Amino acid sequence: MKNRENEVAKQLANIFNKIADALEFKSEIPFKIIAYRKAARVLNDLTEDIEVLWEENKLRTIPGVGEGIAKKIDEYLKTGKMRKYEEALKNIPSGLLSLLNIQSMGPKTLRLAHNKLGVNSKGDLEKVIEDGSLAKLPNMGERKVENIKKGLKIFSAQEKRISIGVALPLVENVINWIKKGAVAAPISSERIEPAGSLRRMKETIGDIDILCTPTYHLSGRGKNGTKIIEHFTNFPETSRILAKGETKGSIIVNQRYQIDLRVVKEECFGAALQYFTGSKSHNIKLRSIAKEKGLKISEYGVFDGAKKIAGEKEEEVYSILGLPYIPPELREDRGEIELKTIPELINYGDIKGDLHIHSRYSDGQNSIKEIAEFAKNMDYEYIAITEHSKSAKYAGGIDEKILEQEIEEIEQVEKECGIRIFKGIELEILNPLANGLDFDDKILEKLDIVIGAVHTSSKKDMTEAICAACCNSNVDIIAHPTGRLISRREGYKIDISKVIEKAASTNTALEINAYYDRLDLSDINARKAKENGVKIVINSDAHSTVMLKSMRFGIGVARRAWLSKGDILNTLSVEELEDWFKNHKR
DNA sequence: GCCGTTTTCGGCCCGACTGTTTTCAGTCG
């Protein structure tokens, strides 16, 4: 039996990453660090159950796991401990290594700040920035400190928010846990749903809210709410219980994530769901509309004087105000309340294929065949294999010769698996000085799909280079157009409005990259692109088969951007898409 | 610490960029 989302493999990945951080901090040989990081990455995305592999003595079949790491995994699975981990973290204050996540703060700088200035925490770091002592260290200066300060700002802003990619699976686990503790109630229609920014599919989430009705009760006697909440607070990964009552429970999970559960009566569930979903400004506007009509909205329902006139279903709350039902992803007070008709948003089942996937040929984890089979199981009609091109050396970029070999393999697998596999490349857009694209047109013409992409973190303005790529008749899509990483860095320097205009005039599609730390384009930019008539494509940018599942985060962004099925390239059928590839730049 | 159609030892992770220097150290992808 597969354990929950391969929890143990993820724990191990986390441990190996921390070891790598610690070794980096101690300036160990880089190759060891790389090896730990690789093992961590592979374990994090592992599809097989790690404990099964362990029992069958097959740990070493995992790529990146050799004798040393296999031994450490074995030790951990046997004893729940790992000596190497404890040893690596010895003498390093807890919390210090997390500062490595600050942009421009690498292991060398951190060590220097720690050794010379006694920096042990974020607070210490802020202090030595302010009093100027950090800038006085060797090889440091005003500008470096300024960059760290900026990095710190992003780090602080994101520190308390949870990425949707972490929050959603976590909530699903918690909901399953609550359901598992429930006994089918005599009344049907028991309900449990996440609310808040998570339900609105925001890219980052503050606290996680879950609502349920008391019909989710445990066997035994006692008040329903109390029982449910008692069970909720026993969630295995709970590190602290903040509150535990009859209608509300609140826990901290894994030392970091706050989750609230509210138990609300069946007849109020719709109103409560609406209320707790927000956003705040959306709700304020609804309340003012209600007021004009002489009504009052609260989490308990819609009231005409003392009389409750709606509340069981969320739809009622809107209809009673004379509004169409507004999907959660639109509730940001960005004009959705004023709409006469709500756009038909793309649905989670509308995507027919994934057009940006890496296999083992570059830095992906799986073979083309594994990817094809997985995609077929997801009911996709097609996929595209798009490795990094040769200049992306750090990501195992491939040259023309290997690309030709890969094309042959793709054709072979396509025959075997019966799913259309487009032959593609994620083509490096070189920085302005290096001029142009990574491959010449001759080879690009052989491919079905060319995705132009920038990866280098150059501070040069990339607008012109990307616009030039749009003008190339072989380039179909621009991947992750701004290059931001939500938790770590702003994008590269780019005038996104210009890129959108150029994409529109050249019929180049722009990507919503569904990887949860990118979600790039953002909902705001994607909406701008739509308004300019740009085609959007939602891609997973998967480096492993598991990552193919992250498509839903991209669809969330698309919904928040008011996109419909018709705006999105990979809702087309195979034939329509082939047609598009052939003709969009003619 | 991993890995092997060149190897059980000796490669692997390299190049661009920034900001610090006066020839180079550190970060990033």
The separation, in Å, between residue A393 CA and nucleotide B13 C1' comes to: 9
Protein footprint on strand B: which nucleotides are under 7 Å from a CB? 1-3, 11-21, 25-29
Q: What is the pLDDT confidence band of residue A221, given thresholds at 50, 70 and 90?
A: very low
- CA–CA distance, A99 with A457 (Å, rounded to integer): 20
A122 plus A248 within the same structural domain: no
A151 CB neighbours strand B below 7 A: yes
Q: Name the average pLDDT for chain A.
A: 89
A365 CB neighbours strand B below 7 A: no
Count of CB atoms within 10 A of residue A39's CB?
A: 27
A38 plus A104 within the same structural domain: yes
For the segment A179-203, the average pLDDT, to the nearest whole number, is 75
A240 φ, ψ (degrees, to nearest 5): -155, 140
A278 plus A227 within the same structural domain: no
Task: Point out the residue nearest to B17 (C-alpha to C1').
Answer: A458
- CA–CA distance, A24 with A110 (Å, rounded to integer): 10
Task: Point out the residue nearest to B25 (C-alpha to C1').
Answer: A139
Give a yes or no: residue A149 inside a domain: no
- CA–CA distance, A416 with A411 (Å, rounded to integer): 9
Contacting residues for A127 by C-beta, under 8 A, at least 6 apart: none
Specify the nucleotide whose C1' lies closest to residue A102 (CA).
Answer: B27
Please determine, for residue A183, whether its predicted confidence score (pLDDT) is greater than 70: no
A319 CB neighbours strand B below 7 A: no
Which chain A residues 55-94 have CB under 7 A to strand B?
60, 63-70, 84
Please determine, for residue A582, whether its predicted confidence score (pLDDT) is greater than 70: yes
The separation, in Å, between residue A83 CA and nucleotide B5 C1' comes to: 38
Specify the nucleotide whose C1' lies closest to residue A105 (CA).
Answer: B27
A391 plus A483 within the same structural domain: yes
Which pLDDT value is given to residue A241? 84
| Residue where a domain stops, chosen among A112, A144, A176 | A144
Please determine, for residue A186, whether its predicted confidence score (pLDDT) is greater than 60: no
A290 plus A358 within the same structural domain: no
Specify the nucleotide whose C1' lies closest to residue A69 (CA).
Answer: B1
> How many structural domains compose chain A?
4
Determine the structural domain holding residue A224 and report its residue range. Answer: 163-263
For the segment A543-554, the average pLDDT, to the nearest whole number, is 94
Give a yes or no: residue A377 inside a domain: yes
- Rg over alpha carbons for chain A, rounded to the nearest Å, is 26
Which pLDDT value is given to residue A223? 54
What's A124's domain CATH number? 1.10.150.110
What's A383's domain CATH number? 3.20.20.140
The separation, in Å, between residue A326 CA and nucleotide B27 C1' comes to: 46
* Global model pTM greater than 0.85: no
| Residue where a domain stops, chosen among A144, A175, A196 | A144
Give a yes or no: residue A344 inside a domain: no
Which pLDDT value is given to residue A184? 47
Q: Which residues pair with A244 in a beta bridge?
A: A249
What's A213's domain CATH number? 3.30.460.10
**Token pair of A216, please?**
């989710």
Task: Write the pLDDT tens digit of every residue in A416-428.
Answer: 999 999 999 999 9
Which pLDDT value is given to residue A485? 85
A319 plus A218 within the same structural domain: no
A116 plus A200 within the same structural domain: no
Weakest-pLDDT range from A34-43, A76-85, A218-227, A538-547: A218-227
The separation, in Å, between residue A141 CA and nucleotide B25 C1' comes to: 13
The separation, in Å, between residue A137 CA and nucleotide B25 C1' comes to: 13
A380 plus A500 within the same structural domain: yes
Specify the nucleotide whose C1' lies closest to residue A135 (CA).
Answer: B20
Please determine, for residue A586, whether its predicted confidence score (pLDDT) is greater than 70: yes
Task: Point out the residue nearest to B11 (C-alpha to C1').
Answer: A31
Specify the nucleotide whose C1' lies closest to residue A35 (CA).
Answer: B1
**Token pair of A90, please?**
């010895």
Please determine, for residue A508, whether its predicted confidence score (pLDDT) is greater than 90: yes
Please determine, for residue A446, whether its predicted confidence score (pLDDT) is greater than 80: yes
A99 plus A191 within the same structural domain: no
The separation, in Å, between residue A491 CA and nucleotide B23 C1' comes to: 31
The separation, in Å, between residue A15 CA and nucleotide B27 C1' comes to: 23
Sheet with A307-310: strands ordered across: A296-298, A301-304, A307-310
Q: What is the pLDDT confidence band of residue A434, given thresholds at 50, 70 and 90?
A: low
A564 CB neighbours strand B below 7 A: no
Q: What is the pLDDT confidence band of residue A457, given thresholds at 50, 70 and 90?
A: low
Task: Write the pLDDT tens digit of every residue in A376-398.
Answer: 999 999 999 999 998 888 788 89
The separation, in Å, between residue A380 CA and nucleotide B3 C1' comes to: 35
Task: Point out the residue nearest to B12 (C-alpha to C1').
Answer: A31
Q: Which helix (H) or strand (E) is A194 found in, with range?
A: strand A192-194
The separation, in Å, between residue A16 CA and nucleotide B20 C1' comes to: 33
A138 CB neighbours strand B below 7 A: yes
Please determine, for residue A174, whether its predicted confidence score (pLDDT) is greater than 80: yes
A141 CB neighbours strand B below 7 A: yes
For the segment A535-560, the average pLDDT, to the nearest whole number, is 96
| Residue where a domain stops, chosen among A231, A263, A295 | A263
Task: Point out the residue nearest to B13 (C-alpha to C1').
Answer: A394
- CA–CA distance, A110 with A99 (Å, rounded to integer): 8
Give a yes or no: residue A157 inside a domain: no
Name the more confident of A261 and A1. Answer: A261
The separation, in Å, between residue A130 CA and nucleotide B22 C1' comes to: 29
A109 plus A231 within the same structural domain: no
Which chain A residues 470-489 have CB under 7 A to strand B?
485, 488-489
Give a yes or no: residue A158 inside a domain: no
A459 CB neighbours strand B below 7 A: yes
Which chain A residues 489-528 have CB under 7 A to strand B?
489
Which pLDDT value is given to residue A377? 96
What's A300's domain CATH number? 3.30.210.10
Name the more confident of A223 and A63. Answer: A63
Which pLDDT value is given to residue A38? 87
A29 CB neighbours strand B below 7 A: yes
Please determine, for residue A116, whether its predicted confidence score (pLDDT) is greater than 60: yes
Specify the nucleotide whose C1' lies closest to residue A23 (CA).
Answer: B1
The separation, in Å, between residue A105 CA and nucleotide B25 C1' comes to: 13
State the helix-helix crossing angle for A107-117 and A7-25, rounded to 10 degrees: 60
Give a yes or no: residue A85 inside a domain: yes
Which pLDDT value is given to residue A163? 87
A254 plus A275 within the same structural domain: no
Give me the percent of chain A exceeding a pLDDT of 70.
94
The separation, in Å, between residue A551 CA and nucleotide B10 C1' comes to: 42
A246: phi > 0 → left, psi -120 to 50 → alpha, else beta; which? alpha
Give a yes or no: residue A24 inside a domain: yes
A149 CB neighbours strand B below 7 A: no
Task: Point out the residue nearest to B1 (C-alpha to C1').
Answer: A32
Give a yes or no: residue A338 inside a domain: no
Q: What is the pLDDT confidence band of residue A57, given thresholds at 50, 70 and 90?
A: very high
Task: Write the pLDDT tens digit of every residue in A5-46.
Answer: 577 888 899 899 999 999 999 988 888 998 999 899 888 878
A14 plus A53 within the same structural domain: yes
Cis peptide before A163, with omega less than 30 degrees from 0? no
For the segment A299-324, the average pLDDT, to the nearest whole number, is 92
The separation, in Å, between residue A111 CA and nucleotide B25 C1' comes to: 14
Task: Point out the residue nearest to B28 (C-alpha to C1').
Answer: A457
DSSP letters of A147-176?
HHHHHHHHHHHHHTSEEHHHHHHHHHHHHH
